[in-house]
Every structure is written in C-alpha cells, then in structure tokens.
Amino acid sequence: MDERENALRIIRFENPERVVESPPWRFVRYFGCEHEGFEGGGPDMPVGSRWKDVWGTGWRRELESIMGFPREYPLADVGALRDYQWPDPNDERLYGEVYRAAEREKREGVFLMGSHREVLWEKAYMLVGMENLMVYFRTEPGFVREVLRRVMDFQLGMAEHYLKVGVEFVAPNDDMGAQTGPLLGPDIVDEFLMPEYERLFEVYRKGGVMIRFHSCGNVEWMLERFMKLGVDVLHPVQATANDLTRVREATQGRMALEGGVSTVTIMKGPAEAIEREVRERLWQLGREGGYFCAADQCLPFPEEHIGALRKAVGKYGRYPLERPEW
C-alpha cells in the first residue's frame, strides 16, 4: 500500500496499514498567502523588518524563526471601509503562482493542496485589529458582516483557481481557541462566521476536495461545527488545550485528527519522553484509524527531538497497534 492510499484509509477510517505524520501532499499558494507585499516583505524578512502585505496590513518581524506580527490595520476605523481597495483574486500577480507551482510539483503518489491561510476570522482581525473587531461584533455588526463577506469573496475567487489546477485537498486556517476555551463566543461564531465558512466549504465539498482545517487552542466546542462543515482532517489538536480522549470520542469515524503530541514534550525531550507520549497518542487517538501522529505545533524543534518522534511513529505505528503497558 503506497503512502497516498494509506492516508486515504486513515482519513476514511478504513483499515490503514500504519500511522504516519501526515498525508503526502504538496502545497500550492497564491502570492500574498504568506504575508508578502507587492513591494517586498514576507516570512523570510530579517528581524526588525517592516512591510505591508497585499491587503495593506502593516507587519513587523520581531523574533527569529517566528512569523511577523500585524501592527498596522487598514480597516481599524469603520469609515475606512468606504475607500478600501480589496485585493482581486483574479489579479495575475496573486493567482499566477498557483498555476506555476502546480506545473512544477510532482503529482504521482501525492495530494495537491491549496492553502487558505487566515481564511476568515484571522484575516479579518489582521485588517481591523483583534480588539477592534471584537468590539465591532457588538457595536458595528453591519461593518463586520461586510468585512467577512468580502474576505470570503476573495477566498472563493481563489478557490476557482485551486479547482482549475486540480487540488485534492485545501487547508483553511483560523485559530478559534484560546488555551482553555473559545477565543470567540460560540454565538458570535454561529452568527457571523459559520455562514461564511459554509459558502467556501460547500464549493469544495461539491468538487470532491478534502478539507484540512487548522485551528490552534481549545477546539472541543467547535468539533460539531467542523464536522457539520465537512472538515476531513483537524489539525493540530493541541494536547495541553484539549481533553484528547473527549475529542477522539466525539470525532471517531467522522473526522480524522492530525497532531496531538505536545510541543512541550518535543521541545524539552528527552527522546524517551517523546517516545512514551507518541505511544500514548497512537493508542488514545489512532487505534481505530483516523489519526496522523505529529507535533501539535510547528516550531523550530531540536533535530534530535523531532527525529525521536518520527522514529517512534515508525516503530509503533503499525496496525494492529499495541496498547502501552505502564
């Protein structure tokens, strides 16, 4: 069984041969997806750099190996919406890289995945400012709905390009959770965000495209919403922010999980502690399929520590899994 078939069986809870870290995919991204600007800027800028991305958000790179932080918000003031120039998904400068990357990438044995980084909520607060947006949900709901609608209009336009190049997966990202609970009230999510997510996800469901949603933090309260939207894989399932047994019980047979191995454990080590946690997660989350065993965050881990995780997944991730005894 090749990696692609094994991954499909994991996602479908259909007797895979082994647990792996992730499906074998290759990303395609539009220009601006990684906070690039037409006049420069992006994830590789040196510490101290400032720039504006294609949306007009001002960024500053403050820490090595960590993405920059938004510091200037073009829609911080409600009145700015009237004259704001929205990026056009049919601007060749933005979508052109999607087609070029699709032509470059090897297709055999892998999935082509389209990125929707900061698909809605995060993009909106990067335009408005997080504190401003949280206030405007209550004081300026019409403004918020317009911002969210226009952000999703852009994502839908980019979805057309992704579908044209034949993506089989898409990766929408929005961090919905804080450490111990929702970042936004569930009523806000249901009223403002869910209808917009549905617009995009329906397009992909109809096109037979699988959805891998990334949301940091506590997401137990969002699980039914994710499954209602048709999410196939949920990432990264933070170990310190969720009751993982409860997450698995709620999603078993309905939505695959990716991640779950604590960043704290991987960062601190030693290798024996990492192996122990991998064995626990394999049994807890993957004994009936539906699990990709990986770190619950993407950080610059010590090479020997991430190597220990991969070695443990390879050693203990063969079905039928063995229950750890300790």
CATH of the domain at 13: 3.20.20.210
Instruction: Produce one character per residue of 254-275: b if its CB has 16 or more CB atoms within 10 Å, e if not.
Output: ebbbbbbbbbebbbeeeeebbb
Q: Report helix angle 141-165 to 92-104, nearest 10.
A: 40
The angle subtended at Cα 138 by Cα 132 and Cα 143, nearest 5°, is: 70
- Give the pLDDT of residue 106: 79
Q: Tell me which amino acid residue 199 is.
A: R
Please check the confidence at residue 272 and state whether its pLDDT lies above 90: yes
Please check the confidence at residue 65 and state whether its pLDDT lies above 90: no
Average the pLDDT over 13-38 and give the result.
Answer: 96
110 touches 4 (CB < 8 A): yes
Q: Is the dihedral of CA 188, 233, 262, 34 positive or negative?
A: negative
Please check the confidence at residue 257 and state whether its pLDDT lies above 90: yes
- Whole-number percent of the chain with pLDDT over 70: 100
Average the pLDDT over 198-208 and give the result.
Answer: 98
Average the pLDDT over 30-39 and give the result.
Answer: 96
Instruction: Produce one character per residue of 14-51: b if its CB has 16 or more CB atoms within 10 Å, e if not.
Output: eebebbbbbbebbebbbbbbebbbeeebbeebeeeeeb
Average the pLDDT over 35-45 and give the result.
Answer: 94
The angle subtended at Cα 187 by Cα 179 and Cα 296, nearest 5°, is: 25
- Give the pLDDT of residue 220: 97
**Within-domain flag for 323:** no
Q: What φ, ψ does residue 263 adopt, rounded to 5°? A: -55, -40
- Give the pLDDT of residue 284: 98
19 touches 98 (CB < 8 A): no
- Give the pLDDT of residue 300: 87
- Give the pLDDT of residue 64: 84
User: In 3D, which of 127, 119, 121, 196 has the Cα closest to residue 162?
Assistant: 119
User: Residue 184 gets which letter from DSSP?
Assistant: S
**Within-domain flag for 167:** yes
- Whole-number percent of the chain with pLDDT over 90: 94
CA atoms of 127 and 74, how far apart (whole Å): 6
Range of the domain at 170: 3-45+75-316
**Within-domain flag for 68:** no
**Within-domain flag for 321:** no
Please check the confidence at residue 234 and state whether its pLDDT lies above 90: yes
**Within-domain flag for 63:** no
189 touches 225 (CB < 8 A): yes
- Give the pLDDT of residue 105: 84
Please check the confidence at residue 97 and state whether its pLDDT lies above 80: yes
- Give the pLDDT of residue 326: 72
- Give the pLDDT of residue 274: 98
**Within-domain flag for 52:** no
Average the pLDDT over 233-255 and give the result.
Answer: 98
Average the pLDDT over 209-218 and give the result.
Answer: 98
Question: Strand pairing partners for 289?
Answer: 287
How many domains does the chain contain in total?
1
Please check the confidence at residue 299 and state whether its pLDDT lies above 90: no
Average the pLDDT over 155-176 and give the result.
Answer: 98
Q: In this structure, are strands 69-72 and 58-60 parallel, antiparallel, or unpaired?
A: antiparallel
What does pLDDT average to over the chain?
A: 96
**Within-domain flag for 198:** yes
**Within-domain flag for 215:** yes
